[in-house]
Amino acid sequence: MTGDVMLYVVMLLLPISALVARRLPVGEMVKMALAWLAIFLLLFFVVVAWQEAMGVGAGMRGLLGL
């Protein structure tokens, strides 16, 4: 379990450290982070919609509480 947590911490720190190393203004970093969040949310909802269309999304509905 501890190894999993460390993996996620490293996965979070690597992109953050790359942005800090570029010395971008905070406003630019926030805009980039929001853009990436929007991209991943869009992809998540596309996958959920595809699973629903294929009939394999019943488990996802329960997970999301829908």
Over the range 53-63, which residues count as b (16 or more CB within 10 Å of their CB) and which as e? eeeebeeeeee
Residues 6+ apart with CB under 8 A from 57: 48, 51
Domain span including residue 44: 24-66
Residues 6+ apart with CB under 8 A from 61: 52
pLDDT tens digits in sequence order for the chain, 66 residues long: 577 888 888 888 888 888 788 888 888 888 988 998 999 999 999 988 888 888 776 665 666 666
**For the whole prediction, is pTM greater than 0.75?**
no
Measure the CA–CA gap between 24 and 20, rounded to whole angstroms: 7
Q: Looking at the 3D structure of the chain, how many domains does it have?
A: 1
The structure tokens listed for 2 are: 């501890």
